[in-house]
Amino acid sequence: GAVVSQHPSRVICKSGTSVKIECRSLDFQATTMFWYRQFPKQSLMLMATSNEGSKATYEQGVEKDKFLINHASLTLSTLTVTSAHPEDSSFYICSARDPAWGQTVFGPGTRLTVL
Amino acid sequence: GESVGLHLPTLSVQEGDNSIINCAYSNSASDYFIWYKQESGKGPQFIIDIRSNMDKRQGQRVTVLLNKTVKHLSLQIAATQPGDSAVYFCAENPPGANSKLTFGKGITLSVRP
């Protein structure tokens, strides 16, 4: 079946540094990918929609200059958390819709810890 | 929206019993609904889906029921197993090519051996 991967699976960084998270669709092309953030014991909250070849669309309250999204190819979207702070520590999950199956497939998530 | 600081509700069932997980959705225009299972430290996994022109759909050991009148969705798991222990989320998808999934708050299913 369709698979979405994320890299890294977990990252620890110092406050003030930037962290890049990659999301790849392994066996299908995705013109649109989605980025979610999930705090402990809470649901997934959509942060932004990543569009191949154009600007990302951000949800209300999500700072586009802090969470940079680049969808450079049909199989890769990246999320860069700039100047990370401890409150950015969270589980970041991406998803993509497999056009053949019609289902949304989620990546395994990236655990970000900012010290 | 989410309630910061509240823990997910928990449903505890005995192994072998049937589980029923309920969800209330918010958008009456949503025409597609999905149940996801999320194990600790992992991304959500698709379980079963249902479109708004149906009120019941069955899979292997799982059944989804949709009541559009009261905007209610339920997931029934037959003969619950320890491997079913996880957090379960319902998600709704309004119509439209650019529509986005909206997730419910989630319920933790704990299976007692």
Q: What is the per-residue pLDDT across B97-106, written as a single tens digit (0 to 9) for each? A: 677 899 998 9
Average pLDDT in the B70-76 region?
95
- The label of the residue with tokens 């998808």 reads B93
The predicted structure's pLDDT at residue A101: 77
Q: Is the pLDDT of residue B3 over 60?
A: no
The predicted structure's pLDDT at residue B4: 34
> CB burial class (10 A; 0-12, 13-18, 19+) of residue B35?
buried
Backbone angles phi, psi at A87, to 5 degrees: -70, -10
Q: From edge to edge, which strands make up the β-sheet containing A4-7?
A: A4-7, A19-25, A76-81, A67-73
Residues in contact with A109: Cβ distance below 8 Å, sequence separation at least 6, in sequence order = A6, A9, A38, A91, A92, A93, B41, B42, B43
Best mutation target, A44, A103, A110, to test chain B (most B CBs within 10 A): A44
Residues of B in CB contact (< 8 Å) with A are: 2, 4, 6-8, 34, 36, 41-46, 49, 89, 98, 100-106
- The label of the residue with tokens 């309630």 reads B3
Rg for chain B (alpha carbons), in Å? 14
Backbone angles phi, psi at A112, to 5 degrees: -105, 125
Residues in contact with B75: Cβ distance below 8 Å, sequence separation at least 6, in sequence order = B19, B20, B21, B23, B35, B47, B48, B62, B63, B64, B88, B90
The predicted structure's pLDDT at residue B87: 96
Beta bridge partners of B22: B74
Q: Which residues of A touch B101 (CB under 8 A)?
A: 34, 46, 95, 104
- Confidence label for B5 from pLDDT (cuts 50, 70 and 90): very low
Show pLDDT as tens, one digit a residue, over chain A (115 residues). Answer: 789 999 999 999 999 999 999 999 998 999 899 999 999 989 999 999 999 888 999 999 999 999 999 998 999 999 999 999 999 999 999 999 888 877 899 999 999 999 9
- The label of the residue with tokens 């009456």 reads B28
Measured between alpha carbons, how far is B106 from B86 in angstroms, rounded to an integer?
Answer: 10
Best mutation target, A34, A43, A59, to test chain B (most B CBs within 10 A): A43
Chain B contact for A26, CB < 8 A? Answer: no
The predicted structure's pLDDT at residue B8: 75
- Contact at 8 Å (CB) between A51 and A71? yes
Taking only residues 53 to 112 of chain A, the set having a beta carbon closer than 8 angstroms to any beta carbon of chain B reads 91, 93, 95, 103-109, 111
Q: What is the mean pLDDT of chain B?
A: 90
